[in-house]
């Protein structure tokens, strides 16, 4: 049928993606739900690749299965499979492989990107190293076009999460939009403010939201909007691991000049980088101060049409729908789906194609894991039944809780 992928190179790339996905715990953990829903299809593709009657194909597939980050093996396997698919004719094993690849492409929201060879000797910059070259925050006191709210918690030692927030702040202070026309708000939700001395100088507002219990992503965002972002006309909810390019704010503000525009995602597919590519991206964008990272050169897994990571909307739309649903009481996941469904219903959410990346960190607990309800909580949670019965973002909401 005409809607199916027929190009041999496209089919081969998708086949290698499946082989790598099956072998890569990092890629699977980027979105455990997406992986669980499509893993059987990806495993079927992997098995079909190993059944191709070509010893070189099978050997390279086994190599990728042992080390999915072997960029050269992935590239060579893609070339061999492209030739095989282009010349297969009626060979049943190759025809079956093509059919299984098409099936996986119609049921999966995950796709690996192999990337290119990594620069030699690339280390992992820490937060202090990144912030040494960061431009200062403007701390505007007058009207601004937009406010960006970043929810954050890290109770451990400095590591990937603290590095990521430093890189995000570095990128947000290096924008083509006038720096005094937007505000950056970091909201730390914890039993005490652990990181204000590190990040406070590099954002316009550092808000401490006391909560000794499980991390409440929704409430943290609401507190940031209510107590840090208003009265900005435009609100951006940006997670603390999304590394943006220099034109990020300017493009977003311009998009709202179109009559009737109320909200948008700036991206379609988000590339979740592995650890080494995250080092590379932070080095390029922050230490080398490039306007954007070379996304095609980076290795990671695409999450297709993910609802989280970054969303822009008018503040009056945020207020009309009551902000994020604070009943998502722990961890990550679910709240973005609920919020964006409501925002789309009331205001309409556009999609754009900014080339955005997510920096690597250890996976946090999803809200249904933390509550002990399991993935079935998605089926029983009362989606889209917010608004609240009290003021959103109440900073006293969790103060009676004892630290863990």
The domains of the chain are located at: 8-108, 127-380
> Distance between CA 16 and CA 292 in Å, rounded?
27
What is the C-alpha radius of gyration for the chain, rounded to an integer number of angstroms?
22
Write down the H helix ranges in 173-294. Answer: 196-199, 217-224, 248-255, 275-282
pLDDT given at position 307: 87
pLDDT given at position 110: 96
pLDDT given at position 370: 47
pLDDT in tens, 33-75: 889 999 999 999 999 999 999 999 999 999 999 999 999 999 9
For tokens 């954050």, name the residue.
Answer: 152
pLDDT given at position 117: 84
For tokens 């009362």, name the residue.
Answer: 382
- What residue ranges of the chain have pLDDT lower than 70? 1-5, 88-89, 330-333, 364-379, 401-404
DSSP structure class, residue 135 = P
pLDDT given at position 182: 98
3-state secondary structure at position 187:
strand
Residues 6+ apart with CB under 8 A from 90: none
- By the 8 A CB rule, do 8 and 82 touch? yes
Span between the terminal Cα atoms of the chain, in Å: 58
- By the 8 A CB rule, do 328 and 371 touch? no
What's the CATH class of domain 127-380? alpha beta
- By the 8 A CB rule, do 379 and 33 touch? no
Pseudo-torsion of CA 58, 61, 63, 64, nearest 10°? 180
């Amino acid at each position: 049928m005409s809607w199916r992928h027929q190009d041999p190179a496209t089919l081969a790339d998708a086949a290698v993606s499946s082989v790598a996905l099956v072998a890569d715990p990092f890629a699977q953990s980027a979105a455990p739900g997406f992986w669980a829903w499509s893993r059987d299809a990806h495993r079927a593709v992997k098995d079909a690749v190993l059944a191709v009657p070509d010893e070189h194909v099978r050997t390279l597939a086994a190599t990728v299965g042992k080390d999915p980050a072997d960029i050269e093996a992935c590239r060579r396997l893609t070339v061999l499979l492209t030739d095989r698919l282009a010349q297969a004719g009626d060979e049943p094993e190759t025809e079956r492989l093509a059919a299984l690849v098409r099936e996986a492409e119609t049921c999966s929201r995950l796709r690996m990107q192999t990337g290119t060879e990594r620069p030699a000797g690339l280390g992992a910059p820490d937060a202090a190293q990144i912030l040494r070259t960061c431009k200062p925050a403007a701390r505007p006191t007058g009207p601004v076009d937009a406010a960006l709210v970043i929810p954050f918690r890290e109770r451990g030692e400095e590591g990937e999460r603290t590095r990521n927030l430093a890189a995000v702040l570095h990128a947000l202070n290096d924008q083509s939009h006038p720096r005094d026309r937007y505000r950056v708000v970091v909201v730390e939700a914890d039993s005490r403010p652990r990181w204000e001395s590190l990040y406070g100088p590099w954002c316009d507002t550092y808000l401490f939201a006391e909560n000794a219990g499980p991390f409440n992503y929704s409430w943290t965002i609401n507190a940031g909007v209510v107590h840090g972002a208003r009265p900005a006309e435009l609100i951006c909810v940006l997670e603390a691991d999304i590394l943006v390019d220099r034109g990020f704010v300017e493009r977003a503000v311009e998009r709202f000049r179109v009559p009737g525009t109320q909200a948008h995602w700036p991206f379609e597919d988000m590339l979740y980088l592995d650890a080494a590519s995250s080092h590379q991206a932070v080095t390029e964008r922050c230490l080398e101060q490039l306007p954007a990272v070379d996304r095609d050169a980076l290795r990671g897994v695409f999450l297709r049409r993910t609802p989280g990571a970054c969303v822009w909307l008018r503040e009056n739309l945020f207020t009309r729908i009551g902000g994020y649903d604070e009943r998502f009481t722990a961890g990550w996941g679910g709240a973005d789906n609920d919020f964006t469904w409501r925002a789309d219903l009331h205001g309409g959410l556009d999609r754009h194609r900014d080339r955005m990346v997510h920096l690597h960190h250890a996976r946090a607990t999803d809200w249904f894991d933390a509550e002990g309800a399991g993935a079935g909580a998605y089926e029983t949670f009362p989606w889209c039944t917010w608004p609240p019965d009290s003021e959103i973002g109440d900073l006293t909401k969790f103060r009676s809780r004892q630290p863990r």
